[in-house]
Amino acid sequence: MTTGTNPGSSNPEHSNPETGNPGHSGLQVGLTVLAEGPFTRGPDGLLTTILRVPVERIGPGPRSARFDVIVRRAGEKPFSLDLGSATPPWMIVDENPPSDLTALLQDSRFLAQQVYAVAASTLALFESTLGRRMGWVNGGRLTISAYDRVAYRQSGYYRDDGLIRFGHKRDGRTTKSVPLALFRDLVAHEVTHAIVDGYRPKWADSHAETDQLAMHEAMADLVALLSVFSTQTLVEKLLTQAGGDDLDLDTLDEAALRNDLFRLGDGLFKRESARPSLSHDLSPDWRTQRDPHLRGGAIVQVLVRVVSRLWLQRLDAPGGRSSLYQVSRAGASVGGQVLRMLIRSLGYMAPVDVTWEDLLRGILAADTAVAPDDDLDYRGAVVRAFAEAGIVLPNAKDLYGVSTFAGLRYPVRLAALSSDPEEIVRFIWENPRLIAAAKIDPTRPISVARVRPTLRVGPDGFVVSEIGATFTQEFRLSITDARRFGLTTRGPVFIRGGGQLRFDEGGRLIFAALKPILDPVRQQTKLDAQELMTRPADAAVPVAPVAPVAPVASRRAARAPAAPAPEVSARRKPTFHT
Ligand SMILES: [Zn+2]
């Protein structure tokens, strides 16, 4: 069963026959993927959906400007996709998956299409929501090894290698090995780690704390869950599964809707993962959980509550419950909206040391910028759900963080401000009030990693144009200097802080999220948290030895030079595992 149009869906929507130049910038194409995974079936067979991905030149692999997808089954050369056309628009020809399970599990071609489509649509979701290109942490392409020889626990994102590896495993439901990359949520989850890592590399470096790693997990889980949930047919299936023939649309309440989301989430996340069931109550000590999956899982629960409440609100509008289609479409649409609210928050959070209050503030500030009216009180629903988890803004009145910065000096050139890090350093330096607020050490250099203009369109068509910049300061203090600074410590201390600044089109500072640097109280709190986390329970997951596999020529051998299979030390462990 497939939603939307399928036959010929890989044809781009228009081209220019006169010039022979398809000019595909901005065009999208539909590719068929499994809506959830290989075991989810609808009334007409496998439950599939069409994902819209940007049209781009695709090489064998498939390889695009941003992704290199490699499918290599044991004993085979890497599979290389046979593309439909040697001329523009070079796009993958859309194919439906085989309906037979065994054939599906062994179909390298469909696996390549599934992985490419989910990865490319996840990246496109971030780029269209944030109004800018998103890079990888080490530049270049992100390699996705879609049928890797790694063990299940070694599947995941390897930041140093710019690589995502997906193993395969036996499953009680079939005798064949099941490629993990056939599960849409797993691919969306790992690609989200890579996107967030490219955008905020210090959230996952060696100095990152559990809150930042948990922020990664929460984002990755929510993108996975809500992008799957934004498939209307899947929501319909969840509702009918729960209600059966007796499904009464008029009595659906928050608990019922939330249960559907919980069931979907649990189905997706519980594949031997460390996450709690979404249907459990929030653990009272969730903030100090050591496992980033558990800690981040609480935020997944919070946002699932937001989705179910806003969904109910839509159903209670006139005609909202008129048909199953209406109800499921409302759920899918709310899921997509909340997902975009979450993604937008990224541009409103500091580049280091983010906390859950920062996430709440980021969601609210970003949403206020693109949807000033908020007629349906989406932001109120977010505030209430976060408050239930104990997350409240210390200064809710100053959402934008600039109320004390009236009269700043702007010794900058607007053109340079949107592209030149030096111009941002100059702006900070010329404003002692900003230096004092961020507690910047004036004797040390300020590092500005990125300055980017962004252009976004709000739900009402209102265009928001801003310039975003991040700065950091980090250094090591000896024990003596750290104690003199006021810290209680038994060793040298790594100090860091920084901020996210946003400027409007006229170059005025309109938003600031600061993590003060020379702030002994904040640095001591971080030290204490690190102390708490230094324990044997945090030890690395044991790594299974990896046996080298000799490539053997196969029926579907590469027709064009395929990328070399990624070589990663067997001792390496993923930055984030599935
Ligand atoms: Zn993860």
| C-alpha of residue 156 to centroid of ligand 1, in Å | 7
Helices (H) and strands (E) in the chain, counts: 15, 15
pLDDT of residue 14: 42
pLDDT of residue 25: 66
C-alpha atoms less than 13 angstroms from C-alpha of 532 in its C-beta half-sphere: 14
pLDDT of residue 338: 96
Residues 109, 516: Cα–Cα separation, whole Å: 51
| C-alpha of residue 406 to centroid of ligand 1, in Å | 41
| C-alpha of residue 246 to centroid of ligand 1, in Å | 38
Residues 331, 334: Cα–Cα separation, whole Å: 5
pLDDT of residue 271 exceeding 80, the answer is: no
| C-alpha of residue 273 to centroid of ligand 1, in Å | 10
pLDDT of residue 83: 67
Confidence of residue 11 (pLDDT cuts 50, 70, 90): very low
pLDDT of residue 3: 38
| C-alpha of residue 216 to centroid of ligand 1, in Å | 7
CA 499 to chain centroid, in Å, comes to 21
Q: Which residues contact 226 (CB under 8 A, 6 or more apart)?
A: 303, 307, 335, 336, 338, 339, 342
| C-alpha of residue 578 to centroid of ligand 1, in Å | 5
Highest averaged pLDDT of the listed ranges 38-52, 68-82, 336-350: 336-350
pLDDT of residue 208 exceeding 70, the answer is: yes
| C-alpha of residue 284 to centroid of ligand 1, in Å | 22
Highest averaged pLDDT of the listed ranges 261-270, 449-458, 488-497: 488-497
pLDDT of residue 533: 76
Which of 285, 294, 229 lies closest to 262 in space, CA to CA?
A: 229
Length of the chain, please?
578
| C-alpha of residue 326 to centroid of ligand 1, in Å | 33
Which of 495, 500, 499 lies closest to 518 in space, CA to CA?
A: 495
Mean pLDDT of the chain: 84
pLDDT of residue 66: 94
pLDDT of residue 554: 31
- Condensed to tens digits (0 to 9), the pLDDT of residues 130-172 reads 988 999 998 999 999 999 988 877 899 999 999 999 998 887 7
| C-alpha of residue 198 to centroid of ligand 1, in Å | 15
| C-alpha of residue 191 to centroid of ligand 1, in Å | 9
pLDDT of residue 524 exceeding 60, the answer is: yes
pLDDT of residue 43: 78
| C-alpha of residue 469 to centroid of ligand 1, in Å | 27
- Condensed to tens digits (0 to 9), the pLDDT of residues 241-257 reads 777 767 888 888 888 88
| C-alpha of residue 218 to centroid of ligand 1, in Å | 8
pLDDT-above-70 percentage for the chain: 84
pLDDT of residue 565: 52
Confidence of residue 273 (pLDDT cuts 50, 70, 90): low
User: Taking residues 540-547, what's their average pLDDT?
Assistant: 32
| C-alpha of residue 17 to centroid of ligand 1, in Å | 45
Task: Write out 35-52 in H/E/C secondary structure.
Answer: CCCCCCEECCEECEEEEE
| C-alpha of residue 214 to centroid of ligand 1, in Å | 9
| C-alpha of residue 313 to centroid of ligand 1, in Å | 31
Query: Could you count the other beta carbons within 10 Å of the beta carbon of residue 338?
Result: 24
| C-alpha of residue 417 to centroid of ligand 1, in Å | 35
pLDDT-above-90 percentage for the chain: 52
Give the lowest-confidence range in 59-63, 181-185, 395-399.
Answer: 59-63
Angle CA(143)–CA(146)–CA(149) in degrees, nearest 5? 105
User: Taking residues 426-437, what's their average pLDDT?
Assistant: 94
147 and 136 in contact (C-beta within 8 Å)? no
413-450 b/e (C-beta count within 10 Å ≥ 16 → b) = eeebbbebbebbbbbbeebeebbebbbbeeeeebebee
| C-alpha of residue 165 to centroid of ligand 1, in Å | 12
pLDDT of residue 336 exceeding 70, the answer is: yes
| C-alpha of residue 422 to centroid of ligand 1, in Å | 35
Residue boundaries of the structural domains of the chain: 56-199+549-577, 228-398, 414-538
Confidence of residue 90 (pLDDT cuts 50, 70, 90): low
Which architecture does CATH list for 56-199+549-577?
A: Roll (3.10)
- Condensed to tens digits (0 to 9), the pLDDT of residues 373-430 reads 898 899 999 999 999 999 999 888 899 999 988 889 987 777 788 888 999 999 999 9
C-alpha atoms less than 13 angstroms from C-alpha of 336 in its C-beta half-sphere: 15
| C-alpha of residue 480 to centroid of ligand 1, in Å | 38
pLDDT of residue 17: 40
In DSSP notation, 267-330 reads HHHTSS-SPPPTTSPPPTTGGG-SSHHHHHHHHHHHHHHHHHHHHHHHHTSTTTTS-HHHHHHH
| C-alpha of residue 576 to centroid of ligand 1, in Å | 5
pLDDT of residue 551: 29
| C-alpha of residue 192 to centroid of ligand 1, in Å | 9
| C-alpha of residue 153 to centroid of ligand 1, in Å | 11
pLDDT of residue 42: 79
Residues 446, 427: Cα–Cα separation, whole Å: 11
